[in-house]
């Protein structure tokens, strides 16, 4: 599996996406949470390389497209490649993993700021609407992804404010 493994700021990500030529149709965004804690990410116990190895062990040829962390937006699978992250939702989607567990609390701070920036940037590039945001649990009911605390109503109200 080839990954990009590069961290960008919100501004760098917007510039990257604006200048990126995309060969495939994008019609939705699928939000996830890693379930690993921010502490584990900050300590380096989990990382893009960690997830790459985990996905390769499952036999995956690709993974989600982005990992959103406090320090920025990690490019993982190239957006031109169909990702592996949401079963039948993979086609036409961009998979976004928010670092952390959100079953009991909402994403906040830098992770949520960076996630909102990613969503707005992708909305503009691909002419998407609020209704084009989907959750992993829609495609795999055994998952709580992007966390039980996260609702579409909340995400849409947060994005609508920008």
pLDDT tens string 80-118: 999 999 999 999 999 999 999 999 999 999 999 999 999
Instruction: Check if the beta carbon of residue 118 is closer than 8 Å to that of residue 12.
Output: no
- Is the residue at 40 inside a domain? yes
Per-residue pLDDT, averaged over 19-36, amounts to 95
Q: How far apart are the first and last CA of the chain?
A: 36
Residue 155: CATH number of its domain: 3.40.80.10
Asked, for residue 117, whether it belongs to a domain, the answer is yes
Give the count of domains, the chain: 1
Domain annotation covers residue 93: yes
The helix or strand, by DSSP H or E, that contains position 16, with its residue range, turns out to be helix 10-19
pTM (two decimals) = 0.95
Instruction: Note down the domain range covering 17.
Output: 6-160
Cα 105 from chain centre? 18
Q: Is residue 51 part of a domain?
A: yes
Q: What is the number of H-type helices and E-type strands within the chain?
A: 6, 6
Whether 1 maps to a domain, the answer reads no
């Amino acid at each position: 599996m080839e990954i990009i493994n590069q961290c960008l700021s919100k501004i760098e990500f917007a510039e990257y996406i604006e200048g990126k030529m995309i060969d495939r149709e994008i019609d939705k965004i699928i939000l996830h949470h890693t379930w690993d804690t921010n502490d584990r990410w900050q300590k380096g116990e989990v990382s893009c390389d960690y997830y790459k190895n985990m996905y390769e062990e499952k036999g995956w040829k690709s993974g989600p497209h982005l990992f959103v962390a406090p320090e920025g937006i990690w490019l993982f699978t190239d957006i031109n490649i169909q990702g592996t992250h949401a079963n039948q939702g993979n086609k036409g989607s961009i998979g976004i993993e928010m670092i952390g567990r959100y079953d009991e609390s909402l994403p906040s701070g830098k992770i949520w700021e960076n996630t909102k920036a990613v969503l707005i940037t992708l909305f503009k590039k691909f002419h998407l609407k609020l209704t084009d945001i989907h959750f992993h649990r829609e495609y795999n009911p055994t998952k709580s992804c992007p966390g039980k605390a996260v609702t579409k109503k909340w995400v849409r109200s947060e994005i609508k404010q920008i």
